[in-house]
Structure 1
């Protein structure tokens, strides 16, 4: 067992960590620094293969589960003990950057490198995970792999979801599995002793405060909806306005009314319409149908409930002569990560001399679902100007290194912890 705090962190290699970020950034690269790597695509498969190759080079055993979550395992001296799980995801948004998700996976892999280099086998098995389809940009909703793993969503309905090209998850999984037929398949889900997910902040808080580490207190709640507004097609030159059922104009009114309703002086509520589809989308035809998405977030459960419940009535009241259907898609209430685990992490950050702060996450992450299974936590590092889901997304090598060092110290303690220690984290 490593007795000296900070010793395992010394084995975390900043140059190797950065080099691997740049290597994965070339898979799906566009523009100067952008990455477009859809979940369960050939590009995703290429990134996964690179991760497997890196892991196997230091003796890690690779496996997948039925939803294609990818695991790299360093077996502990007492494999009957619940394992430690660390990681994030490899898929990106269509206009993504080089660090979202990838940092968590590569920081976890770097911890494995450190454990192997230190020459002291962990008591508990430690497993790196790359979750399937966190982003939800190809198959919606996101966090598909972690949700299935944790039992938050049933597998069978997930397999029938389709992307914009009509391809089902089931079919995309089969294509990926054909390229990964050398990886054994493990059962879906298990209960880890703890889960830690490193991530870039995706916001400006750390950078503005001049801190290197965010110890994440929890994740704000999220509700998503699909709104369909039906009108009637008509000739743009002959149909009088008085008799039109223009779905696009109705949708604009609905979105404007919702935006006004959700605006708050403290700027806590987050309301986003990120997808807008118009039918028939022809210049000289009055639109007959509009379908748009709603992403609604708030850190207070009761407020989130009330705001989401108001959407249908507000939409109908502002749609004029058009019909409205509001479909709830997702409701994830706010959650708090394990306080005692966060306290441990704060102690390690102090020992390493890292400037840190406690902070909530405005974005959703796979850790949300893993918190259902046991103690979970997240580590944030700064990203330039808080920009993410954008080609301009950027992070400093030293900040990524610091986040991986904190992960290493936390994992080393967890990997040697007794069952009593783990039970105390959950209280």
Structure 2
């Protein structure tokens, strides 16, 4: 793997207008009246999106195939057929009220890299594989990052295919229905490197006026469901001092989540995102509250310490209030620290193009987090307006989309290496 790209190589610029038009064309599939996109995984709209992507890949001479979970791989051969490939991409499924850029930018930036290499007659030593991972969002079938999770061994194929949606349809049935059940023999073997371009999904780059985020890793996360149980009772007949109000206890849990996260800055995150009240009636004291808890940090030891403190706090709240509090883990992903060579390739790409950049840690989960466990990996972030994502108003400026793809091209060439005698 090349640590630096020769300064004698004139790396061409990608066609920003072509990339933008490609993004807009894909966004038509599942487009919403508010300008977003609803193209959930393993639906008919997902099938249409896949078919469009395949047409574009085959037009560039790429060999397209699928593995057993439906991950799409499109190969551009290198001069060394035995070399491990450099893999670039992301996902094209969206949230129900998602935007045009989340995931899709990474896949289509990868396509634009290959289009640019083809248009300029540039060969690479290593093969380049475009990938579009199945069901990154996890909104129809949990968990998120399903395709990359199966690929990396974080989730078994059998488990993934057995997951059901709200209508009881399994992921396996849905994958078969759209016609994209592949064969694991189609998987590429080891990756020489994996690069994923993505919108930041946060406000840091925009706030600091930076064009490129050189992603050095991703926060680890631990998710829990917390159930606070008291006693449902009449709101008028029960004196305040005799109440066992589950919601009152739950509010203390929310306060604790925020207090503990704030004590572990700058990377500490703590969120309560979902509440369920029983019986949820205006004249009944809540008897039970279930809430979600999401903790994140860049260091595993600190994340463990956060959870330990949280559990101790729950015990204290239960003792002080007389409420029952139960905690059930629902997800546990360790922090990811990306590979130094891949990070350096991204940073050099930003520098070579003269883009303002900064190192950044991803607060969101991405396919690169799983792939980083089995291969050298890194990510490229571009700004998104006001940090908004998973929203129909999600937006990335055309010049930033172009910049991110230029950095991806430069980093890909760095890691794939020029074929012997290739000119650029």
Checking the alignment, whether the CA contact within 8 Å between 2:58 and 2:64 is kept in structure 1 is yes
Checking the alignment, whether the CA contact within 8 Å between 1:84 and 1:415 is kept in structure 2 is yes
Checking the alignment, whether the CA contact within 8 Å between 1:258 and 1:315 is kept in structure 2 is no
> CA separation of 1:82/1:396 partners in 2, compared to 1, >3 Å: closer, same or farther?
same
Aligned to 2:64: 62
Segments of structure 2 that go 5 or more residues without pairing to the other structure are 420-424
> CA separation of 1:270/1:76 partners in 2, compared to 1, >3 Å: closer, same or farther?
same
The partner residue of 2:163 within 156, 161, 164 is: 161
> CA separation of 1:285/1:172 partners in 2, compared to 1, >3 Å: closer, same or farther?
farther
Q: Please state if 1:413 is matched with 2:414.
A: yes
Distance in 2 (alpha carbons) for counterparts of 1:5 and 1:214: 26
Aligned to 2:195: 196
> CA separation of 1:120/1:258 partners in 2, compared to 1, >3 Å: closer, same or farther?
closer
Q: Please state if 1:311 is matched with 2:314.
A: no
Aligned to 1:147: 149
Distance in 2 (alpha carbons) for counterparts of 1:403 and 1:266: 28
Please report the TM-score for the alignment, with normalisation by the length of structure 1: 0.86
Q: Please state if 1:332 is matched with 2:333.
A: yes
Superposition CA RMSD, Å: 2.8
Aligned to 1:360: 361
Checking the alignment, whether the CA contact within 8 Å between 1:17 and 1:107 is kept in structure 2 is yes
Please report the TM-score for the alignment, with normalisation by the length of structure 2: 0.87
Return 242-251 or 363-372, whichever deviates more. 242-251
Aligned to 1:174: 176
Q: Secondary structure at the match of 1:35?
A: coil
CA-CA distance at 1:62 after TM superposition: 1.9
> CA separation of 1:368/1:239 partners in 2, compared to 1, >3 Å: closer, same or farther?
same
Distance in 2 (alpha carbons) for counterparts of 1:293 and 1:190: 38
Q: Secondary structure at the match of 2:355?
A: coil
Q: Secondary structure at the match of 1:312?
A: helix
- Deviations along 1:8-37, one digit per CA (max 9) or x if unpaired, are 433x21111111211222223334322233
> CA separation of 1:13/1:184 partners in 2, compared to 1, >3 Å: closer, same or farther?
farther
CA-CA distance at 1:270 after TM superposition: 0.9
CA-CA distance at 1:318 after TM superposition: 2.6
> CA separation of 1:325/1:196 partners in 2, compared to 1, >3 Å: closer, same or farther?
same
Distance in 2 (alpha carbons) for counterparts of 1:234 and 1:27: 50
Distance in 2 (alpha carbons) for counterparts of 1:239 and 1:39: 49
- Deviations along 1:289-308, one digit per CA (max 9) or x if unpaired, are 43322111112222111112
Q: Secondary structure at the match of 1:103?
A: helix
Checking the alignment, whether the CA contact within 8 Å between 2:260 and 2:310 is kept in structure 1 is no
Checking the alignment, whether the CA contact within 8 Å between 2:260 and 2:270 is kept in structure 1 is no
Aligned to 2:296: 297
CA-CA distance at 1:57 after TM superposition: 1.8
